[in-house]
Amino acid sequence: MSIRLGGVVIDANDLDGLAAFWSRLLERDITRREDDWISLGPDLALQRVSEPKTAKNRVHLDLVTDDFATAVARATALGATPVGEMHEDLWQVWRDPEGNEFCVCVS
pTM across the whole model: 0.93
pLDDT band at 1 (very low <50, low <70, confident <90, very high): confident
Please answer whether residues 25 and 80 qualify as being in contact, where contact means their C-beta atoms are separated by less than 8 angstroms.
yes
pLDDT band at 106 (very low <50, low <70, confident <90, very high): very high
Please answer whether residues 49 and 12 qualify as being in contact, where contact means their C-beta atoms are separated by less than 8 angstroms.
yes
Dist. CA 43–CA 85, nearest whole Å = 29
Residue type, 19: A
- Asked if the model's pLDDT at residue 6 lies above 90, the reply is yes
pLDDT in tens, 28-78: 999 999 999 999 999 999 999 999 999 999 999 999 999 999 999 999 999
Q: Look at residues 72, 73, 61, 62 and name the one whose alpha carbon lies nearest to residue 107.
A: 62
Q: What per-residue confidence (pLDDT) applies to 46?
A: 98
- Beta-sheet pairing, 44-48 with 37-39: antiparallel
Query: Which domains are delineated in the chain?
Result: 1-50 (3.10.180.10), 60-107 (3.10.180.10)
